[in-house]
Amino acid sequence: MGTQLICNPEELRELFLFEKLDDEQLAWLCRDGRVENFEPGLVFREGDPATCFYVLMDGEVRLTKMSGGEEIELVRTDHHGSYAGAWTAYMGDKVDQNYTGSFYVTRPSKFFVLDAGTFARMVQTWFPMALHLLEGVFFGNRNANEIIGQRERLVALGSLSAGLTHELNNPAAAAVRATDSLRERVAGMRHKLKMMAHGKFDSKTLEKLVALQEEAAEQVGKAPTLTSLEAADREDEFGDWLESHDIANGWDLAPNFVQAGFDIDWLERIHGTLSGCGQGVFEGAIRWLNYTVETELLMNEIADSTTRISSLVNAAKQYSQMDRAPFQVVDIHELLDSTLVMLGRKIGDEVEVVKEYDHALPPVPCFAAELNQVWTNLIDNAIAAMAGRGTLTVRTYRENGCAAVEIGDTGPGVPDELRHRIFEPFFTTKPVGEGTGLGLDISFRIVVNKHHGDIRVESEPGNTRFIVRLPLESPELAEELQTTSTAS
């Protein structure tokens, strides 16, 4: 127990947890809570009954957790408003009400303290909807670690859902449009075939047309990629040529032939092949071939669209690790690529993505879905730092028995005075409402605590790099893999 002080509502208002509360609520906190000074030392120990909720007002604290018989420091911070303690008290006897970690004061510090029961009443009274939402998340998993992992994956997928929906909608809509157009073209071809069968085309001419049709279909598959200027120039040439040969509305036909990769020499050859069959035959042949080209182009569009949809679905499955074991040995590049695909819309066209992969890197034992959360946080921060314009570099290499993953950006960099705080919970340099300050804290816990790895930042203006190192061999991870394999 520390030394109790007078509680000042205005002082509480300066803490981010309470800044939106009204005067009556702040007065309630001061009446039912207390302000205390603590000397350096232990405040509460992991596993003890959770009796109080602590909010740091001044000083410095460290939070630790036992892992493999060793006390691991999770965070050390002097950030005013940082909190710890009985934060699940509002759930009552539905959950284990013990401290989940140990909490130390490193220098004389001041806290706002609420007894667990008081904190529970506050949450239940002021935030009933939030209480139900939190209970839904909390009880959806078997233990705290699973809750955090699942919730963060869902949060990541939720934040990407709009982009993924947009990415899926574009090729899906294109496929629908192309299918409708293809149906019209096939109907037109049937009608044209009927006219040809009762018209001026003898059997030899029809044989020539079928041969030209096969040639046209094959050519579409080999069509070169043209710039907008090149395509426009060719369309002008085609339009002029067709007009000069009395093809009605030839300008409407020109774009299809250009997109299929044909040139004027091809038109001249067709004209020469059918020159003895009369003008009506040549114009009919051009329109018949135009139907062929259109159907091939539309089928290519449908194939491209459905392939794009399949690729996006596969990337989403890889990202979410759907139907896969939580712990596995994976190619780290597959995880990185799936994350880049999922973030494609957010990355945008003004960010150049540079991949420098060491494909000799062996598979990495890991919790794959949680590492995808790490890549998401780091890439998202990089895009934000560059304000959506610059170069994003994703690099992998081997370093001292570890797989190293480097996410670099060309943003303004992290100032020296903030660099030691960026992994603290709730610390963010983003404007209010745009960042929770949890992304790097979550990434730190996933990399360091769960994978026994390391995450660090090296930064200067125009070159910021977050470097994640993951052990390629680890007794703890090997044991986890063995347990997972046995269970399955």
Q: Give residue-wise pLDDT tens across range 256-313.
A: 888 877 778 877 877 777 666 655 677 777 777 777 777 777 777 777 667 667 666 6
Of 104-113, 243-252, 338-347, 431-440, the least confident:
431-440
Same domain? For 98 and 48 the reply is yes
Domain match, 268 and 335 both? no
Asked if 233 contacts 218 with a C-beta cutoff of 8 angstroms, the reply is no
pLDDT digits (tens, 9 = 90+) for 137-185: 555 544 444 444 445 445 555 555 555 565 666 666 666 777 777 777 6
| 416 and 329 within one domain | yes
Tell me the three state secondary structure of residue 317.
helix
Residue 234 lies in a domain: yes
**Higher per-residue pLDDT: 9 or 88:** 9
Mark which of 122, 139, 156 sits at the end of a domain: 139
Which candidate, 236, 243, 285, places its Cα nearest to that of 258? 236
Asked, for residue 38, whether it belongs to a domain, the answer is yes
Amino acid at 355: K
- Confidence at residue 397, expressed as pLDDT on a 0 to 100 scale: 95
109-113, 340-344, 400-404: range with highest mean pLDDT: 109-113
CATH of the domain at 126: 2.60.120.10
The answer to whether residue 317 is domain-embedded is no
Residue 424 has pLDDT above 60, yes or no: no
Greater model confidence, 77 or 368: 77
List the structure tokens of 388: 């959506």
H/E run at residue 458: strand 454-460
Q: Are residues 296 and 354 in the same domain?
A: no
Q: Is 129 a domain residue?
A: yes
Both 193 and 294 in a single domain? Answer: yes
Answer whether residue 409 is part of any domain.
Answer: yes
Bigger pLDDT: 378 or 182? 378
- Out of 245, 277, 309, a domain closes at 309
Nearest to 370 by CA among 160, 164, 151: 151
Domain at 395, CATH number: 3.30.565.10
H helix or E strand, kind and range, residue 406: strand 402-409
* pLDDT for res 1: 56
How high is the pLDDT of residue 260?
77
Tell me whether residue 305 is in a domain.
yes
Of the listed ranges 106-110, 196-200, 328-332, the one predicted with least confidence: 196-200
Whose CA is closest to 61, among 108, 3, 98?
A: 108
Pair (182, 133) in one structural domain: no
Strands (E), 19-123: 34-38, 41-44, 52-67, 70-77, 83-85, 102-115
pLDDT at residue 249 in the model: 76
Nearest to 365 by CA among 484, 445, 466: 484
192-199's contacts with Cβ under 8 Å and 24+ in sequence apart are 192/284, 192/287, 192/288, 192/291, 195/284, 196/284, 196/288, 199/280, 199/284
Residues 303 and 373 grouped into a single domain: no
Q: 305 and 198 share a domain?
A: yes
**What average pLDDT does this structure show over 106-135?**
86
Give the mean pLDDT of 114-122.
91
In a domain, 315, yes or no: no
Are residue 455 and residue 481 in the same domain, yes or no? yes
Q: How much is the average pLDDT of 34-59?
A: 93
Task: Answer whether residue 426 shows pLDDT above 50.
Answer: no
Q: Which residue has the higher pLDDT, 462 or 192?
A: 462
- Are residues 177 and 124 part of one domain? no
Residue 292 lies inside a defined structural domain of this protein: yes
Q: Can you tell me the mean pLDDT for 331-340?
A: 88
Give residue for tokens 């610390």: 427
Q: 272 or 366: whose pLDDT is higher?
A: 366
Are 190 and 293 in a shared domain? yes
Q: How many domains does the chain have?
A: 3
**Separation CA 370–CA 446 (nearest Å):** 7
Q: Which domain holds residue 390?
A: 325-487
Looking at the structure, do residues 432 and 338 belong to the same domain, yes or no? yes
